[in-house]
Chain A
Amino acid sequence: MVGNSEFEEQALIRRALRGDLDAFNALILRYQDSAYTLAYRIMGDPHSASDALQEAFILAYRRLGTYRGGSFRAWLMRITTNQCYDELRRVRRRPNVSVEAMGEETGDDPAIPDDADTPEEVAEQRELQQAIQQCIGGLNADQRVVLVLCDVDGMDYQAIADTVGTQIGTVKSRLSRARASVRDCLQAVRELLPSAYRLISNEDDD
């Protein structure tokens, strides 16, 4: 099935390269969720994420000629990331969105895990996610992008280096600092954290 899917994707890519917009849209439909997740985690709010994503897809269509084979998803993610990057640099802001605002904005988040079935648990889970997102939003653009690519999208270091256009050593360094910053940030909302994390935090305090 996977092979068949890849075969279909290659056919779509070939058609898109010939200017077939429908084929390109079929590719977009395959990857728009993961690309939106990436854009949202980097940008920090749905409006900026949607704008960046739309621009990224338009740019991707116009720059189809730069696709040199390999993973189309990685190529699309690279363009999306760069678009978010440019937007972050342009706006020069760090979206420290309030918890209230984030409550509205994350209304389209997918369902909470099955085991969190009480309303309290659902609310706690959502609050925790908002807190994590807020901590990510507190990072500078370089660290934020690397952290999201690694811990949200699951890229390996080499893929991150290719996407961002930097060395693996730089990726390691940025990622380490990003994680340390998020760790410190989460201390401030430890009451939201799972008990395991709280235990570690308490240990640290003692």
Chain B
Amino acid sequence: MLTERDLELLSAYLDGALTEAERADLEARLQTDAELSRELARLRATVDLVRTLPSLSAPRDFTLTRDMVRRQPRILTSVAFSALSAAAAVVLLVLGATLMLPQLASSPLSNNQIAAVPTQVNTQPLQTAQEIAPEESGGGAAEPEVDESSPTLERSFADGALASTSLPTVAAQGTQQPLIAADALVPATGTFEAFSFAQQETTTGIEEALDDADVNTQQRVAMTATEQSAAEAQEAESMPAPAAANGEAADTSSAMVQQATQLPTSKPSETPLPSSTPTATATPTFTPSPTATSTFTPSPTVTSTSTFTPTPVPGIFDNVGSSGIGLGLIVLAIILLGVALVTTLIRRRS
């Protein structure tokens, strides 16, 4: 009875792969062991048969083309993935920055940043107010205030092209509302909601609508700002500044509550109420002159936006620090930028 070892020895013997000692030992056994020698004959015949298999010709040329050796685009290394990552990073960066700015603005040390937020929202009306308000409101004192705010506007513009491009649509939405509280002062919540809305608009591809929105917004806001400036000028003349600001803010708040409860799409009233009032009372320190309030006020957009309330997350910023969210968005944006960079590098290397 042959063992596995015997078969291995025979197989290796056929290939001449045994050591000298193994070969001598096996050959000695083959002289006396008939079964072993018969098995050797069968194995040799088998190997010979297999070795008779002919060499084949390739049925075709297997030469390579450029296309064949070009790596298939993979999702992670595709141009589209890198571009999307970078675009998302920019969006998140801008959103994060704009979320953090109002939080910083609540600090008394940064009054300029208070101006930065509303002017970001309302860049178009401000420009039109600059042109129209002095003429129709007759408030000659308005001009210097507008001039003072202009650098702030430019700074806020520098924060990101996306915010400035998406915001005119917010203004356009706002001006479509018939109810505009002319003197309502920039409630912080309104600003947040405006940006939340901007976020929604941006993610749904705002760029396509930009040109139209710019034109429409300029026209509508110009009209709104004109009427508003006139109304504000009248009110400003009839009241002392701090009292006027407080009283109007209170009126605006109540009006907003009414509007909020009337509008089916609007959110619970706790969102505009608590944050709008303190911001309004803080305003006199920012604009000591009554004409300044009426001229500079970017209120149409903000007030009407808070009335419009398109954001699906009511009161979120009351509970969570907006600067924390902003910081998170910025970190996410940095990560996405890294992803875009790495995938681009990988693509170039490959």
Contacts and interface: CB of A to CB of B under 8 A. Distances in A.
Contacts of A109: 54, 56
A22 to B, nearest CB: 9
Q: Give the interface SS of chain B, mostly helix, strand, loop or mixed.
A: helix
Contacts of B57: 33, 36, 108, 110
B64 A57 contact: yes
A111 to B, nearest CB: 8
Interface stretch (A66-74, A88-96, A195-203): A195-203
B56 A186 contact: no
B61 interface: yes
Contact of A36 (B12, B43, B59, B71): B59
Contacts of A78: none
A157 B15 CA distance: 9
B343 to A, nearest CB: 20
Contacts of B7: 176-177, 179-180
Contact of A110 (B49, B55, B62): B55
A48 interface: no
A57 B51 CA distance: 26
A37 interface: yes
B348 interface: no
Interface in A78-113: 108-110
Q: Give the interface SS of chain A, mostly helix, strand, loop or mixed.
A: helix
Contacts of A34: 55
A28 B38 CA distance: 43
Closest 10 CB pairs of A and B: A176-B11, A25-B63, A36-B58, A176-B8, A183-B46, A151-B50, A32-B58, A37-B56, A197-B45, A176-B7
Interface of B: 4, 7-8, 10-12, 15, 17, 38, 41-43, 45-47, 49-64, 66, 68-69, 71
29 contacts: A25-B63, A33-B56, A33-B57, A35-B58, A35-B62, A36-B58, A36-B62, A37-B56, A53-B58, A57-B62, A58-B64, A108-B57, A108-B59, A109-B54, A128-B49, A129-B54, A132-B50, A147-B50, A151-B51, A156-B15, A157-B12, A173-B4, A176-B7, A183-B42, A183-B43, A193-B49, A194-B49, A200-B45, A204-B42
